[in-house]
Amino acid sequence: MHQYHVLQSGTIILKPDGRRVRSLEHRCTAVLVWPEKAPVSARNTVLTDPCFTFRGFQSAQNRLDRLGLSFDDIGRIFVTHPHSDHRLHMPRDAIRRRFPHFDPRDTAMPGISAVSCPGHSRRLHALVFCAASGEVWITGDAVLDEEWLRAWGFYWPNGYSPEEIIQTWQSVAMIIKNADVIVPGHGEPFRVTADLVAHLLAGFPHATYADACEYEVSDLLRERLNEL
């Protein structure tokens, strides 16, 4: 079992209907993960998507303070996918030391796995572990936020091919089938509930290229709905 805490709340300017909310920053969700029953140290912590804006870094420091921790207690980093808004970035001169990358085969940190979720990026991997709230999936931009998920939206400014969009839906279905809590790439964590899955199932036939993977995606969603 692990615990997790959002250090930088992810936000996204672009909404699925094409609106842009200029008061928001484009910044990813950064999460600290550590084993439930061990004292926290640089030996057993993983920080996901450590791409901090100036404001995001300040709030991360405050949140670490409240946990009685500092950036010195962060051992490894895990980048869900190699887009520039997720790779390691700290405000200028904030922290100079290096952070090694987390390897899920690391036997010193058992119980955390990396699961391939291609589509948004060919190399996207979710970080998956068990917490008190159930199975947690830190998905990077496989799920941008709950609003984008509910709209079956994909981040169209990236110019995706039909194959990549279809892969995105297959990854989303696999995530919904397994996750109890989703920590999306640019939003707050949320639970996979019967209401959410029913909404997704009803909306999927209207998603772009849904006809190319409708049975497979709908079957996984229906299976999950029956379990909830």
Q: Which residues bind Zn ion (CB under 5 A)?
A: 83, 85, 141, 185
Select 34 or 169, whichever has its Cβ closest to Zn ion.
169
Q: How far is the CB of 151 from Zn ion (least distance, A)?
A: 17
Q: How far is the CB of 121 from Zn ion (least distance, A)?
A: 6
Select 47 or 109, whichever has its Cβ closest to Zn ion.
47
Q: How far is the CB of 144 from Zn ion (least distance, A)?
A: 7
Select 75 or 184, whichever has its Cβ closest to Zn ion.
184
Select 87 or 222, whichever has its Cβ closest to Zn ion.
87
Q: How far is the CB of 190 from Zn ion (least distance, A)?
A: 17
- The 10 Å CB-count burial string (b at 16+, else e) for 46-62 is bbbbbbbbeebbebbbe
